[in-house]
Structure 1
Amino acid sequence: MTSDVHAEFRKIVRQVATERIAPHAAAVDEEERFPAEAWEAIVEADLAGLAHPEHLGGSGADLLSQVIAVEEIARACMTTSHVLLVNWAGTCTILSEGTTELQELVVPQVASGQAGAGWCLTEPTAGSDVAGLTTTATKVDGGWSLTGQKRFISNAPWGDWYAVLARTGESSHGVFVVHRDDPGVSFGPHERKMGLRGSPTADITLDGCVVPDVRVVGDPTQGYGYIMAELNGSRALIAAQALGVAQGALDAAVAYTTERTQFGQSLSRFQMIRGMVADMAVRVASARALLHEAVGLIESGHPDARAKASMAKLLCSDNAMSVTTDAVQLFGGYGYIRDYPVERMMRDAKITQIYEGTNQIQRLLIAKAVYAGVGA
């Protein structure tokens, strides 16, 4: 359950999102541009450093506060929520495994909003299949030389710092922190996406990019384990993103069907409309309940946290796709044009079923946990 503090925090973030983020969401999507106005609002509201500790310039907020912030921002503009949570993802392993020197080099810049961050895992031939990674890190004097190509990298090329997973041996991986201005780093063109159109996304090519030893995260043979340890939190944030866009679509549908009249009465008076809205409301509420349960387990270190985080990511994203699709239906022909936000929300929602582990992968993880519980 959320506390009074969390409820008040939600009100604060909702006000920022409603007044300073939502008014620019359509233009950001249409022009496929970085959400500069929204990012300025996030920085001014001290939200950029929610996931970072106070001694490194952040506010040290708990995971539930981060989830609430992402939900409320995604309710207004999912692109903006993505820029924010990817910044946190790009620094998570630095916080958990990096040296004090590395943390002080990177985190204060990101926490203040002065620098952006990203996470580099996916490659042209490897997404869910980490064993298929071909980017390599070779030890050289004073550091490591990285060579390879990373695909679909969020916050690229806007971000300054990128945590790169690279192969350091036949069965070992390390995490290396690359700066956008390092020699040997180059970026591909902006990806033209179905949704999240204002979120910067591009390939990153590493051609003999030398990363000094200070920018190696922990043990350079244990990078895969570091990433796996962070997935619970990151999946909760993606779930929150999906929940937020679903809530935004529900809100828009309720407002539209209340105001729109047909056959001499408000659409909201028709039983079939009410049935659809009721189903949408149940999907949003049930997704939020499961997500908050998962957050509680993650924060307490409970052994069931991994499966529950997968459940939350699965349910929130599947429900977001369902709710946003129904919202378009409730708007009728108007839902299919860009003058109204629900078509953008439907396009945005789709990616939440794909990234941070596809929902097919989530189902496999959930089933594995279920069968483990009965010894099968």
Structure 2
Amino acid sequence: MTLEADYRDFRDNIRRFAQTELAPRAAELDRSGEPPHQVHQAAAKLGIPGLPYPESYGGGGADIFAQCVAMEEMARACASSALSLGSSWILSAVVDFGSKDQQDRIVPQMVAGEARSAWGLTEPKGGSDLMAASTKATRTGDGWIINGVKRFITNGGWADWYMVFARTSEKRFGLFLVNKADPGVSFGAQEKKMGMRASPTSDVILDNVIVPEWRLLGDPERGAEYINKALLKSRMQMSAHALGIAGAALTEALRYTKERVQFGQPVADFQLVRGLVADMAIKVEAARATLCSACELYIGGDPAAKTQASIAKVLCSDAAMAVTTDAVQLYGGYGYLQDYPVERMMRDAKVTQIWEGTNQIHRLMIAKDFYERV
């Protein structure tokens, strides 16, 4: 049995949820730019916010492949909603690196869908260069004081908990759990974006924010190690997100070209169209196979998962951009109109090549690993 076969029923269940709750709202959410409140309520009833958390806390106990399946199916229906929902999984880092006390305090909120979470990584002068982060955490008698600005934060202002990456010494970093209600926490204006419009994005401003000692995640000097491990999981989840966009665009293109008649026959009968569709399908299936391989390596504890996840990230996001662009082309003039979903998918796809480490950075990482193998 393959992973895909093992999770077929699970995929079907998530797909039904996505088509029922996400897809009908996708266009309106894109137009309004409002956060997907109703989607979150529906997802909580199904247990999606708790998917990666332990069953002992009422979570789903899902492995990374199941998380990727869920993310892909949700992104097929609405990339913005999928992004916001998946952000609730960030605090699974508390399970990986935190204390039992932290887990008892935080995890039940996430599993129940009562709280949302967000990264606190990117800064105005530090995107892919995470080690250039200047946000500073200074130890006090009974906790820490944090100062800095985090930029392009998904769920910024909407999330309740922020996992903040901050410098604790000249060359060391820690991870801190910051709540939006903490004095000194404020948010910049919501960014006006090309795509992912229903997923809030803003600066998170930390001005002398005092956090108690229990909000420090693990060792205050091992934050870089923790974040790299957390980002490996996130990278695969977001690869699946991009794959979902690509798969949805391919499906829409197939449907449209079968129905659209030109010169007395369906557009799908033209040889050039079939060649383009075949290339789209190849990109989607190659990306899916690579992501599945990365998940298998990760589940098996193989260190090769790191590079395979980078390859999956590049393949999935490049496929998302290429396939959505081709889908718009196949729609002709209609593809340029907001009345049709491929226009939204193309806008949503672009950022997948930028976040989670730009594809250029991942290519450098992939090349480095392969050179070291020689």
In structure 2, the gaps of 5 or more residues are: none
Change (3 A) 1:143 1:236: same
Would you say 1:304 and 2:297 are equivalent positions?
no
Would you say 1:61 and 2:62 are equivalent positions?
yes
Distance in 2 between residues matched to 1:295 and 1:236, nearest whole Å: 7
CA deviation after TM superposition for structure 1 residue 3, in Å: 4.9
- DSSP-derived class of the 1:207 partner: strand
Name the amino acid aligned to 2:330. Answer: L
Name the amino acid aligned to 2:170. Answer: E
Aligned to 2:226: 226
> Deviation digits for residues 89-110 of structure 1, max 9, x if unmatched?
2x03211111111111111111
Query: In the alignment, is the contact (CA less than 8 A) between 1:121 and 1:150 conserved in 2?
Result: yes
Give percent identity, aligned residues only: 49
Of 40-49 and 1-10, deviating more is: 1-10
> Deviation digits for residues 48-81 of structure 1, max 9, x if unmatched?
1111111222110111110000000000000111
Q: Give the ranges of 4+ consecutive aligned residues of structure 1 lying more than 4 Å apart after TM superposition.
A: none
Distance in 2 between residues matched to 1:99 and 1:85, nearest whole Å: 23
Aligned to 1:131: 131
Distance in 2 between residues matched to 1:255 and 1:236, nearest whole Å: 29
Aligned to 2:337: 337
Distance in 2 between residues matched to 1:109 and 1:314, nearest whole Å: 33
Aligned to 1:192: 192
Distance in 1 between residues matched to 2:84 and 2:300, nearest whole Å: 27
Name the amino acid aligned to 1:328. Answer: V
Aligned to 1:37: 38
> Deviation digits for residues 26-68 of structure 1, max 9, x if unmatched?
0001101111222222112111111111122211011111000
Name the amino acid aligned to 1:19. Answer: T
- DSSP-derived class of the 1:38 partner: helix
Aligned to 2:29: 28
Would you say 1:282 and 2:289 are equivalent positions?
no
Distance in 1 between residues matched to 2:205 and 2:57, nearest whole Å: 30
- DSSP-derived class of the 1:328 partner: helix
Distance in 2 between residues matched to 1:156 and 1:108, nearest whole Å: 21
Aligned to 1:317: 317
> Deviation digits for residues 227-285 of structure 1, max 9, x if unmatched?
11222211111110010000000011111111111111111111111111111111111
In structure 1, the gaps of 5 or more residues are: none
Would you say 1:108 and 2:108 are equivalent positions?
yes
CA-based RMSD of the aligned residues comes to: 1.0
> Deviation digits for residues 191-236 of structure 1, max 9, x if unmatched?
1111100001110111110010011000011101101122221111
Q: How many residues align?
A: 373
- DSSP-derived class of the 1:371 partner: helix
* TM-score relative to the length of structure 1: 0.98
Distance in 2 between residues matched to 1:55 and 1:222, nearest whole Å: 27
Name the amino acid aligned to 2:200. Answer: P
Aligned to 2:161: 161
Aligned to 1:82: 83
Name the amino acid aligned to 1:12. Answer: N
CA deviation after TM superposition for structure 1 residue 5, in Å: 3.9
Query: In the alignment, is the contact (CA less than 8 A) between 1:68 and 1:240 conserved in 2?
Result: yes
Name the amino acid aligned to 2:10. Answer: F
